[in-house]
Structure 1
């Protein structure tokens, strides 16, 4: 049979309807024959709910996509053309620990930055590498499209510790930034282009263009004239930028840069939120409960607009556009996480970077930018060091390497506090960190 087989690991995610919608809208150029949604036994109920909605969406759209639901990952991977990953080891309960525990030590608790990002990586990397080994056996020619956070660290680990070479890391931050700029300017998004370079959740817009004309300075002036930047995400509060800083920086920061350039303010906000409405994970748990109640409705056959509250806006555009461009050898430009190969001079060639690429049937071809501006170069290099050491800790299960990774992260204030946080979080996540608790026989 002609057509593509796509396996989605973490198919019971609340994001899945966004992905299904993307495949439906692109069916003429991306003929998906089978979409396999796979999850673990603990996620069976959500998988069945989301899967039933996916089947209704496909039926309503009148496209011949077969939706398969399974707990058998090997069956899903066998013969797949593309494998997408969107799972969360330990679920939102683990994320809540990632966010709350660091706050006790006066350190930001966040899903992909600082201590939270480290421990999400420590839990996730062994699983993604296991999936890679299964792909080598069951679908050696498939592309791995990773949306699982921390996407940069996960891509780094796959590049360094697996033989998979057809891997692309993906994030909706760059497309969200472009949409935010377009909204601010009051124009259609396809009129805006941004030169992205950096790392995942540490990416900068080096230059911004409107209809091909460079408008970087004009945009920065516009940002400096407003109390809020208008370029952020559901999960990151927008408090504007210090005007003199932003003008001196001269490039467009991403929403996650607030954790590094506005650390104290963001910490205070998170502490207050944790006391009142709850951490982001706790808020998302409520949003997800509402979403799954909607998904259960047998009359619902579209992606509900409320999904945008989950923070997954533009997910389908990012994931499905990438897959369609690889499949059709479109050679368009998209920002993705891929092997640097000299695109950014101050980052090792073999490391993962987030950068504009020409997307071909052979994968992303990064567009060389030379080097990053000196004002941002050091922070990017520090985060890359953090990602590499964290990936090593995840693979080796070495406690001291984990402490080192925690200490060199710029959001952690001292080696003593780093060790204290590691100790508490190791115990809190013991169930999902077997590599650190091996018994010697």
Structure 2
């Protein structure tokens, strides 16, 4: 079977390749194609990915291409991880928001809106091509941000083979397992909400309730993403655990203040690191001196990863990572990430091996008060050809009010993009709690439409 990655020239491509190749045999994948229309980055990061893949499993056919039709023809599975507009787009997203005194984080609020302007039309085009040339029952796993909006948009256009995936929930769940020192198969917890706007409840170890133990664990606020929050907020939230991205809603002024004090946005930092890395890698023959190329790559990549969320929160990650060799990376057990989520889904979906995981899928009654076709981020049961969200029933007002508001914003944003409707876009941002102003929404929409007119064209 064939798996295609759209956005295979991204900086995270080598890790994506490792995860896919390491687990390919369990789902019968024997051909992998990384596609990207940025040829320079594809022939740097895609090539690093290809060299790493060949060392892990030389029997798998692994190729890179800038031809989307070639990449998608006869594909059984597709992972989308695009950054339309590149790192420069992210910088503009954040700066236009900050110039208006607002948070510009790439998936949340104004920044997420701006990224959706570029991402949604591109993904719709790719999904039409997938429908045309891929296998009839091809599955699409969307990791392109803002994942919730993009997945909702694709589902609204009839692409019901699309599932939204995100590694934030699985990474947080892994952190919880580690502080409890329990095996993955023994731990269970329910996630509900929207992408980058979710909560966790009902933690169990071998069927025994351990929420109290987690809430009172001395490492909860030091060794997990709960480090971003105060225990008082947790109690106020009904003793639910919080997705790290809720930091931007509950501490927005601190996030903005921290960004302004740093002098650089996250996007500007990433752009600078990536430019330095790309420049260094262009001066080396990756195929002939792969060890050195990989060392350059990992050195720069870990500067990015170790500073994750630090600009916005003023805190470093609890675990700082050291630069590994190629062999160390190969020998390190694969932790999955979003590729692991996708492949676990494929295994369960194809074989009937019952599996629990967090996905972005239509609600179908799982959360009371939302429409059946509202795409939600929720714990699901996957078995033979079937995906079922785990019903969580009625949600308390504190969470439900925010979920409904953001879902309304997502719906209106999609409507605006599909119809090129400026007024609808302003309406969407006006109701968003991180903007909550008609005048600011107007400034943002006009600023982004001008900045990205080459992507979005003329609007009504």
Q: What's the CA shift for 1:167?
A: 1.0
Post-superposition offset of 1:314: 2.3
- 1:64 shift after superposition: 1.7
CA shift, 1:431, in A, is 1.8
Contact kept, 8 Å, 2:81 with 2:143, in 1: the verdict is: yes
Q: Output the TM-score relative to the length of structure 1.
A: 0.89
- Aligned counterpart, 1:28: 25
Partners in 2 of 1:73 and 1:418 — Cα distance? 36
1:299 pairs, out of 290, 298, 303, with: 290
Which residue of structure 2 lines up, in the alignment, with residue 243 of structure 1?
231
Q: Counterpart of 1:51 in 2: which secondary structure?
A: helix
Quick one: which of 126, 132, 136 aligns to 2:127?
Answer: 132
**What corresponds to 1:235 in structure 2?**
none
1:146 aligns to 2:134 (yes or no): no
- The within-5 A match list for 1:65-144 is 65-139=60-134, 140-144=136-140
Deviations 1:155-194 (A, max 9, x none): 1101112x22111000011011112223333445554322
Offset of residue 270 of structure 1:
1.9
- Find the aligned partners of 1:387 and 1:219 in 2 and give their Cα distance: 33
CA contact (8 A) 1:331 1:359 kept: yes
Which residue in 1 is equivalent to 2:11?
14
Normalized against structure 2, the TM-score is what? 0.85
User: Closer, same or farther in 2 for the Cα pair 1:51/1:414, shift >3 Å?
Assistant: closer
Match of 2:401 in 1: 378
Summarize the alignment of residues 184-223 of structure 1 with structure 2, pairs less than 5 Å apart.
184-222=179-217
Q: Aligned-pair RMSD on alpha carbons? A: 2.4
Supply the distance in 1 between the matched residues of 2:172 and 2:6 (Cα, whole angstroms): 27
SS in 2 for 1:28: helix
How far apart, CA to CA, are the structure 2 residues paired with 1:326 and 1:294? 39
Within a 5 Å distance, the mapping from 1:248-267 to structure 2 comes to 248-249=236-237, 250-267=239-256
Decide whether aligned partners of structure 1 residues 114 and 367 sit closer, same or farther in structure 2, where only a CA change above 3 A counts.
same
- 4+ residue runs of structure 1 moved beyond 6 angstroms? 301-304
Find the aligned partners of 1:239 and 1:428 in 2 and give their Cα distance. 36
Q: Establish whether residue 365 from structure 1 lines up as the match of residue 418 from structure 2.
A: no
- Which of residues 350, 371, 375 in structure 2 aligns to 1:348? 371
Whether the 8 Å CA contact 2:9–2:35 is kept in 1: the answer is yes
SS in 1 for 2:25: coil
Tell whether the 8 Å contact from 1:207 to 1:252 is kept in structure 2 after alignment: no
**SS at structure 2 position matched to 1:436:** coil
CA distance in 1, matches of 2:355, 2:294: 29
1:398 alignment partner in structure 2: 421
Higher relative contact order (CA 8 A, sep 6+): 1
C-alpha separation in 2, matches of 1:415 and 1:117 = 18
Structure 2 unaligned spans of 5+: 309-334
Question: 1:123, 1:394 within 8 Å by CA — same for their partners in 2?
Answer: no
Match status 1:160 vs 2:146 = no
Secondary structure class of the residue paired with 1:346? coil
Residue-pair matches, total = 421
1:271 to 240, 260, 278: 260
Unaligned stretches of 5+ residues in structure 1: 233-237
